[in-house]
Amino acid sequence: MPSYSTRLDRFISASLGVKRGDVRLLLAARRVKVDGVVATDIAQAIGQFSHVSVGNKVLQATRPRYLMMNKPVGVVSATKDERHTTALDLLPAAEREGLHIAGRLDFNSTGLLLLTNDGLWSRRLSLPERNIAKVYTVTVAQALNSDYIEAFAAGMYFEYEGITTRPVELEILSDYVAKLSLTEGRYHQIKRMFGRFQNEVLTLHRDAIGPVELDPQLLPGQSRYLRADELNSLA
């Protein structure tokens, strides 16, 4: 759900089907509350998560929600798909409403997926200037060597987009397994970078987004709400 902001009088007029002049009367009678406080300004900004009531009638009480999921293989990072299971399909029906995915994973990739109903929050996560690193563990078909470390750190030019990737930190864990840290997410970027070495990516798992790590207690397909400290770390 995208975030929004509108005037209080416009919001109440649309919600109750009354004229804006009538909204002035409601405010004068001190019947309107925004976030528990009596409203006095018809031009007060109302956001997606403002609690608005007129008398005993609640017009809006949406709360922001932030979840992490351990995405399994074969699940689409989308809200709807006619052919495949989506990440939202893995949630109880009552929890799906309004949620979208903040930072997608490919169909066959696994690991940390963030879901929210806060559009502003998810957009901020993706801002390049915030330099939020995403950490992945990758398994490849051919043995790794120091040439990969140097090439990934230097960045790679992608002719189709006409861009050079930002430096990617690569740590070799074993002959065929590496840990990557990158601050951008170009289309199939990791697979394409290994493709320069004609080395196929066999598995790709996201371990962390910034300081938030995938909860090791979550089995594939399971999810939980982010803790306050995790939210604060991404602020």
What mean pLDDT do residues 157-184 have?
Answer: 95
Looking at residue 70, its amino acid is N
Active site includes 106?
Answer: yes
Strands (E), 14-146: 32-34, 37-38, 45-47, 52-54, 57-60, 66-71, 100-102, 110-116, 134-140
Check residue 3 and give its pLDDT.
61
CA angle 220, 84, 69 (to 5 degrees): 25
Check residue 185 and give its pLDDT.
83
Look-up of token digits 């994973």: 105
What mean pLDDT do residues 47-67 have?
Answer: 95
Nearest to 133 by CA among 228, 213, 226, 71: 213
Check residue 235 and give its pLDDT.
87
Q: How confident is the model at residue 1 (pLDDT cuts 50, 70, 90)?
A: very low
Check residue 160 and give its pLDDT.
83
Task: Count Cβ atoms below 10 Å from residue 103 Cβ, excluding itself.
Answer: 17
- Which residues on neighbouring strands pair with residue 181, listed in sequence order? 135, 169
Catalytic residue among 81, 106, 207, 215: 106
